[in-house]
Amino acid sequence: MMEILHSSLAFIVAIALLIAVHEYGHYTVARRLGIRVEKFSVGFGPALFSWRSRDGEVQYVIAAIPLGGYVKMLGENPDEQGAEQQAKLTEEERARAFHLQPVWKRAAVAFAGPALNFVFAIFAYMLVGWLGQSVLPTIVGHVTPASIAEQAGLQPGDRVLTVDGTPVHSWQQMEEQLKHEIGKHFSLTISRDERPVSVEMTLPEQEKDPLLLNVADSVAGFNPGLTIRVDEVIGGSPAERAGLQSGDIIRQINDWPVANVNQFIEQIRSSAGHEVAVVVQRGETLLQLHVLPVSDEQNQVRIGVRLASQAQQEAEIYRMGPVDGFVYGFTRTWDMTVMTLSVFGKMVTAAISPDNLGGPIAIAQLAGKTADLGLVYFIGFLALISVNLGVLNLLPVPILDGGMLVYLALEKVRGKALPPRFLEITQMIGLVLIVGLMVFAFYNDISRLFRG
């Protein structure tokens, strides 16, 4: 119960802060351009708190449902833009109504929300770099037999210093650099016995893993040395019937040493209906258990366990200098923006399953976990979600800021405002699409909770 409350609190803090940042972007640019703002709300539904600005013009609202927010400007809604409604406006109101402003002013207001999300992410990542991150060192702990890494001459104990000339200070940095080398021939500079050694390899193009989440292990064949542990055993599952317990360390499956989670999962998937022998370490004792993998309703082969992997290397604290941290803020935000767009694109083209889409429950769980890990991790989480908000809001969907920019582009081409009826219909379509996406993401969250 306490874990749920903790995750919920972290989620509310994160979402409320990032929505406030986004809406403040719209608000501050509109006010500076002389557009009349009537309401600034963080959240939807009944107002928990509200107050007026000093000039009495703006109503500020903290609402009960922290899953959105909005800035209400005079003349923003389609039902305020008809000839009859415009005739009711005073000269002062006409001069400050949103829909009567030049296209560039309205575009600036629409773009300001996502832009401030990106600015927030840049500064958040700068803080992460300056405060220091607990990082996994680039020390090789395991090299898969017959892999690309072994054929290139990589050995356990080697420390990767550069990837194709780019210095790397953490395993994550190295992974990100390796993603750029897919399909290329490149070199690694490693430290072996305190001497620099150059290792060359070529990584083939990938079809099975379009997200390239784990290039070193899945493609090249080396990892930091991982301990694979059973985090949870689902009640009534084949794993429970076989005797697996939470805390067991998986050592072998069918006489093969288990070097990573993916390797174990692949062995399970290829053994549907056939018993597999799993060797686990429980305390100081090695046990051989026999598990029968089964297919579920989605034809996914499972045994009913949640697994976790932990690197055998100890983490190191890596702090960046003023210049490196400054640059990191921009480069990390750009990398996360590109990755987010890539994921959206691959979901649309079905290159990856939409089942990977996470909703509020997944975000809340991640918020709670990062808050537990400490301030730096939580700031990094805020930066990532802020990038996602910025990208999502720039998609060309009606009711989103990207849809508004499309409207304004069409208006500029036509030379006159779009018909209010057209705006109403397309915004309703956009609302249906967004609500449908949110329901689907929430369904994914619930499904993951039940299937484990």
Q: What is the pLDDT of residues 20-46, one digit of tens each?
A: 999 999 999 999 999 999 999 988 888
pLDDT digits (tens, 9 = 90+) for 243-269: 888 888 888 888 888 877 877 888 888
**Secondary structure of residue 279 in the 3-state scheme:** strand
From 153-162, 208-217, 329-338, 399-408, the region with the lowest mean pLDDT: 208-217
What domains can be seen in the chain, in order of their start residue? 2-130+382-451 (no CATH), 142-223 (2.30.42.10), 226-311 (2.30.42.10)
Is 417 in contact with 262 (CB distance < 8 Å)?
no
Arithmetic mean of pLDDT, 337-348: 81
Distance (Å, whole) CA 224 – CA 138: 7
From 89-98, 140-149, 345-354, the region with the lowest mean pLDDT: 345-354
Is 316 in contact with 137 (CB distance < 8 Å)?
yes
- What are the residues facing 250 on neighbouring strands? 228, 280
The pLDDT score that the predictor gives to residue 435 is 82
CB count in 10 Å sphere of residue 384: 20
From 102-106, 118-122, 152-156, 204-208, the region with the lowest mean pLDDT: 204-208
Q: How confident is residue 85, by pLDDT bands cut at 50, 70 and 90?
A: low
The pLDDT score that the predictor gives to residue 357 is 66
What angle do helix axes 360-373 and 2-32 make, rounded to 10 degrees?
100
The pLDDT score that the predictor gives to residue 116 is 97
Element holding 375 (H helix, E strand)? helix 375-393
Using the 8-state DSSP alphabet, how is residue 78 labeled? G
The pLDDT score that the predictor gives to residue 118 is 97
Active site residue 275: no
Determine the length of the chain.
452
Arithmetic mean of pLDDT, 317-341: 91
Distance (Å, whole) CA 121 – CA 14: 13
Q: Is the dihedral of CA 368, 370, 372, 375 positive or negative?
A: negative
CB count in 10 Å sphere of residue 272: 14
pLDDT digits (tens, 9 = 90+) for 264-299: 888 888 887 788 888 888 888 898 989 888 877 666
The pLDDT score that the predictor gives to residue 90 is 78
Flag whether pLDDT at 352 surpasses 70.
Answer: no
The pLDDT score that the predictor gives to residue 74 is 87
Percent of the chain with pLDDT over 90: 31
Q: How confident is residue 162, by pLDDT bands cut at 50, 70 and 90?
A: very high
Distance (Å, whole) CA 444 – CA 438: 10
Residue 365 tokens read as: 């769980």
The pLDDT score that the predictor gives to residue 427 is 84
Q: How confident is residue 424, by pLDDT bands cut at 50, 70 and 90?
A: confident
Gap between the terminal Cα atoms of the chain: 18
Q: Which amino acid is at 395?
A: L
The pLDDT score that the predictor gives to residue 232 is 86
**Secondary structure of residue 83 in the 3-state scheme:** helix
Tell which wins on pLDDT, 358 or 79: 358
Distance of alpha carbon 451 from its chain centroid, rounded? 22
The pLDDT score that the predictor gives to residue 328 is 92
3-state secondary structure 306-364: EEEEEECCCCEEECCCHHHHHHHHHHHHHHHHHHHHHHHHHHHCCCCCHHHCCCHHHHH
Residue 245 tokens read as: 């317990």
The pLDDT score that the predictor gives to residue 401 is 92
pLDDT digits (tens, 9 = 90+) for 378-420: 999 999 999 999 999 999 988 889 999 999 999 899 888 888 7
Residue 14 CA: distances (Å) to CA of 8, 121, 171, 367: 10, 13, 27, 7
What is the rounded (10 degree) CA torsion for 130, 131, 133, 134? 140
Q: How confident is residue 81, by pLDDT bands cut at 50, 70 and 90?
A: low
Q: ∠362-366-371 over CA atoms, to 5°?
A: 150
Distance (Å, whole) CA 202 – CA 152: 9
Q: How confident is residue 443, by pLDDT bands cut at 50, 70 and 90?
A: confident
The active-site residue out of 3, 23, 80, 207 is 23
Distance (Å, whole) CA 133 – CA 151: 33
In degrees rounded to 5, what are phi and psi of residue 441? Answer: -65, -40
From 108-117, 133-142, 163-172, 203-212, the region with the lowest mean pLDDT: 203-212
Percent of the chain with pLDDT over 70: 88
Using the 8-state DSSP alphabet, how is residue 203 labeled? B
Most confident of 72-86, 105-119, 134-148, 407-421: 105-119
Flag whether pLDDT at 337 surpasses 90.
Answer: yes
Arithmetic mean of pLDDT, 205-233: 78
Question: Greatest CA span in the chain, whole angstroms?
Answer: 84
Give the pTM: 0.77
